[in-house]
Each structure stands twice: as structure tokens, then as C-alpha cells.
Amino acid sequence: MKRIVLLTLSVLLMFSMLLIGCSQRTGNSAAPAGETTAPSDSASKETIGGDGAKVKLTVYSTTNDKPVQEVFKQIAADFTKENPNIAVDLQFPGSEYENIMKVKMAANDLPDVFDTHGWAVMRYGKYLADLRDEAWVADQTDTIKDVVTDKDGKVHALVMSEAKDGLTYNVDLLKKYNIEPPKTFDELMAAAEKIKTESGGEVTPFFFSGIDDWMIGQFFDYFATSLLISPAQNEADNLLNKTFDWSKWTPLPEKFLEMYNKGYINKDVLTAKYSDLPQQFADGKVAFTLLGPSFADEVHKINPDLKIGFMPVPSMVEGDEPNFSGGERYTFGAWKDSKHLEEAKKFIAYFAKPENIEKIANVTKLPPGLKNIKASHEFTEYYEKYADIRVFPYFDRVYLPSGMWDVMCKTGSALLGGQVTPEQYSEKMKSEAERLSNK
């Protein structure tokens, strides 16, 4: 009996020691500086101890590009080396970013620092701290400062790289057919006709996809600005006041259908996929796309020597000038209710250092959001060439209610499929805009 008691006590003692060991390991779970971890909620707002760190910041970014993520991680790691009392939990939620942020906004429990991805003022404004007193604010570019600043002067976010979306093109093809980058829509159509005719149909002027119909949506979003917003006499106020005459939308689907009927768009548009494009572009079979710089990387994996040009969106109204669609691309704003707001601002200021903005500009192949940054990548010459071209916010983000992007894409595909006429396209836009505005 005595042996049994002693044996039982020994087992209990061993089990107790095992529990103590487990507790010690799980109790010190702070993420290493700069490491990407699974999304966490309350941990980022708490002070942590045991490893010398006093504060933990959670940072969300929208980028899905691995090279961009690696640069962000490196900058975050450098920040924690200089600030050993601050740990950084850097997360890349990917395609779930917006859904996660909607839940967090509803709960008023946001990351300490997060990417506003084009919605700094309109969507996230009431959740963001005012950054107007930060040193880097004076260096904002002329094209971006008004995008992230409201009428009261509140600065909502640091824009690390700007979106300036226009048309990319095969430089060698345009040279071959003696075509200068078009400045007007009529010039663009003349260039398309010349390419189609002189190539004997071997080169398709434009590539779109009905499967990945966001490509079709790009056409309507970009050229809606050229038709309705960019001209001196424009429809901006009518669109905002909900008094817009939607028959004035009809020229857009008319032109798009004309492009298709004249053979300026790939014949298999309704079954083609975006993934088909890089190979065709690399082979010199497509002249123009409505895509951004990241497209170049996919092409250069196939044809490293291909020269890709970049140009603004041509004007559609006589007397007007070309424009870019865009605004914010990669940004960082600070949650106003963060328990570590000063540390969040310090983190953002570190990313705003010229050498870090330069790294981000080079890896994203986008213009930097701060002045006097010496970026050097294949599109730098074009951003410098078109530095004075006006940049308008994406049309759908300002002038259409949430949900209209999908309407533009799907109805554009239906137009090419013969299911709707240009006039019916405009009627669909009108009815859906009214319905979604009242939700």
C-alpha cells in the first residue's frame, strides 16, 4: 500500500511539472519583430512582456505581391531594430482584406496601422487619426495630398505609392507601325485600325476578358472619367446630386461595341481569361492593355527584352486633355482609438523615410507618394514624362454607389454577347444606381 501511495504521488508530481512547463511556453507568445502571423484581435492593443518588448503593433497591408511583402517585412524589421520596445505583427490578409476590415469597423476594433487602399477619406475617415502634424506631410506630392486630406485639413494616411492607371502598350509594335501614343480617343481608334489592317489581323489592338470581367470594367471606369468628369463642362455635380441624365452614359457602350465589331478587341473575349494575356503580349500579338505596372512582371517572365510603354487615358471630349485614374495604392493610416497611437505614428513615419519610400516605389513600379524620391524602375521615365497630367479618383469610387462595379463589368460582357444594347446598358446603370443608393 505504501509503495502504491508513493508511486501515485510521483506521477502527480511529474504531471504538475509538465503543466508548469506548458504554461511557461504558451505564456510567452509575442510574435518576433516583422513576422507575419495569423490575424489577431486584442493582442495588438495589449502591452506584452517577458521578451523585453513593451508594445505590440498590428499592421495590415493589402499587397498580395511577394516581392512587395518582402520589402515591407524588411522595413518593419529595421524599425524594430531601432525601436526594440516595439514589436510589429505585420499581416497580409489577401483577398479577405475588405471583409475582415468591415467586421473590424463594425466592432470598432481595428489594426493599429492599416492600408486604406483607395478609401482613406470616404470609407475609413472616421476611424483614422489625424496625421497633419507629421513631418512627412509637407512632402506629399501635389497629385496625392488632396486625395487623403478632407475639407477640414485632416490628413488620413501616408501614401507610399500612388496609383496612376492608364494604358500600357508594346513599344516595338507602335514603332513598327509608326504610331505615337494616342492623346485622344479618336487617335486611339485610328491607331487600332492601322495596327489591325497593316498586321493583316496578326496583331489585336486590345485584349479583354469576359471571364475575368474586371478587365471590361476597367474600360468603362477609365473612360467614364474622360467622358464625364475630366472635361471643363462635366457631369460631376449631377452624378453626386443624383440628377445625372443616364442617356449621357450611352456613348461609352456604343464605343466599346464599335471596337468589338471592328475587330479591335480579341474575338474570343467572352471566353478568354486574363491569364491568356501575358503570353500573347510577350509574343507581340496584343498592342494595348488597360493594366498597371504589375502586368509587366508577368510579361517579362516570358520575354525579358520586351519594352513596355505607359500612357495616360486619352481624352474623349474635344478640347480636353488626357488623364490618369487613381489616387491611393499602398498606404498606412493609424487607428484613432489605438492604445498605442504614438507608436503607430512612429511606425508610419519610419516607412515615410526617403530610403524606404524609394524601396517601395522600385518594387511596386509606381510613383512615390512623397516628393524628391529618386525611384528607378522601367516605368520611371513615363511617370516623369507625364508628371503634370491630372489624376482623377477612380470613377466608381466617387460617383457610383457600392455594388456598381459588378454591374459595369457584367453588363459590359452582356453587351458584347448581344444580350443588351448600349441604350439598355445605360438604363441598367440608372436603375441599379438608384436601387443601390437607397439600400
Q: What is the pLDDT of residues 313-329, one digit of tens each?
A: 999 999 999 999 988 89
Residue 261 clears pLDDT 60, i.e. is over it: yes
Q: What pLDDT does residue 277 have?
A: 95
Query: Cα(196)–Cα(350) distance, rounded to whole angstroms?
Result: 50
Residue 260 clears pLDDT 80, i.e. is over it: yes
Residue 428 is classified by DSSP as H
Query: Cα(378)–Cα(21) distance, rounded to whole angstroms?
Result: 55
Residue 250 clears pLDDT 70, i.e. is over it: yes
Question: Taking the CB of residue 209, how many other CB atoms lie within 10 A of it?
Answer: 21
Largest CA distance in the chain: 104
Q: What pLDDT does residue 40 have?
A: 43
Say if 42-164+327-385 and 165-326+393-437 have the same CATH topology: yes
Phi, psi of 276 (to 5 degrees): -75, -20
CB 401 within 8 A of CB 433: yes
Best mean pLDDT range from 16-20, 319-323, 327-331, 394-398: 319-323
Q: What pLDDT does residue 380 have?
A: 87
Q: In this predicted model, what pLDDT tens digit does every residue of 50-79 receive, in sequence order? A: 455 589 999 999 998 888 999 999 999 999
Q: What pLDDT does residue 46 have?
A: 53
Point out the least confidently predicted range of 170-184, 271-285, 287-301: 287-301
Q: At what angle do helices 341-351 and 66-82 cross, to 10 degrees?
A: 120
Dihedral sign of CA atoms 40, 46, 52, 57 in order: positive
Q: What pLDDT does residue 48 have?
A: 53
Average pLDDT, integer, range 268-287: 96
Residue 388 clears pLDDT 70, i.e. is over it: yes
Burial of 120 (0-12, 13-18, 19+ CB in 10 A): buried
Residue 332 clears pLDDT 70, i.e. is over it: yes
Residue 26 clears pLDDT 90, i.e. is over it: no
Query: Cα(184)–Cα(270) distance, rounded to whole angstroms?
Result: 27
Point out the least confidently predicted range of 72-81, 181-190, 394-403: 394-403
Per-residue confidence band for 369, with pLDDT thresholds at 50, 70 and 90: very high
Provide the H-helix boundaries in 285-421: 294-300, 341-351, 354-364, 380-385, 395-399, 404-416
DSSP string computed for 285-309? -EEEE---THHHHHHHTT-TT--EE
Query: Cα(195)–Cα(71) distance, rounded to whole angstroms?
Result: 40
Q: What pLDDT does residue 86 have?
A: 96
CB 87 within 8 A of CB 113: no
Q: What pLDDT does residue 270 have?
A: 96
Closest CA to 309 of 170, 187, 172, 176: 170
Residue 45 is classified by DSSP as G
Match 516605368 to its residue by C-alpha cell.
379
Residue 37 clears pLDDT 50, i.e. is over it: no
Supply the mean pLDDT for the chain. 88
Query: Cα(185)–Cα(182) distance, rounded to whole angstroms?
Result: 7
Match 494616342 to its residue by C-alpha cell.
182
CB 174 within 8 A of CB 309: yes
Residue 350 clears pLDDT 60, i.e. is over it: yes
Residue 422 is classified by DSSP as H
CATH class of the domain whose range is 42-164+327-385? alpha beta
Point out the least confidently predicted range of 4-13, 23-32, 169-178: 23-32
Query: Cα(229)–Cα(35) distance, rounded to whole angstroms?
Result: 43
Helix (H, G, I), strand (E, B) or coil at 377: coil
DSSP string computed for 170-237? EHHHHHHTT-PPPSBHHHHHHHHHHHHHHTTTSSEEE---STTTHHHHHHHHHHHIIIIISSSS-SHH
Listed in sequence order, the residues at least 6 apart from 253 whose beta carbon sits closer than 8 Å to its beta carbon are: 220, 412, 415, 422, 425, 426
Q: Domains of the chain: which residue ranges?
A: 42-164+327-385, 165-326+393-437
Per-residue confidence band for 378, with pLDDT thresholds at 50, 70 and 90: confident
User: How does strand 286-289 pair with strand 167-170?
Assistant: antiparallel
Q: What pLDDT does residue 177 have?
A: 97
Residue 413 clears pLDDT 70, i.e. is over it: yes
Rounded to 10 degrees, the C-alpha dihedral 208/214/218/224 comes to: 120
Helix (H) or strand (E) holding 25: helix 2-26
Q: What pLDDT does residue 375 have?
A: 82
Asked if the 165-326+393-437 domain carries CATH number 3.40.640.10, the reply is no
Q: In this predicted model, what pLDDT tens digit does every residue of 105-161 receive, in sequence order? A: 999 999 999 999 888 998 899 999 999 999 999 999 988 898 899 999 999 999 999
Q: What pLDDT does residue 164 have?
A: 87
Residue 23 is classified by DSSP as H
CA distances from 381 to 55, 226, 292 (A): 42, 24, 15
Residue 167 clears pLDDT 60, i.e. is over it: yes
- In the chain, pLDDT over 90 holds for what percent of residues? 71
- In the chain, pLDDT over 70 holds for what percent of residues? 88
CA angle in degrees (0–180, nearest 5) for 346-130-350: 20
Match 471596337 to its residue by C-alpha cell.
259
Q: In this predicted model, what pLDDT tens digit does every residue of 191-248 receive, in sequence order? A: 999 999 999 999 999 999 999 999 999 999 999 999 999 999 999 999 999 999 999 9
Q: What pLDDT does residue 411 have?
A: 97
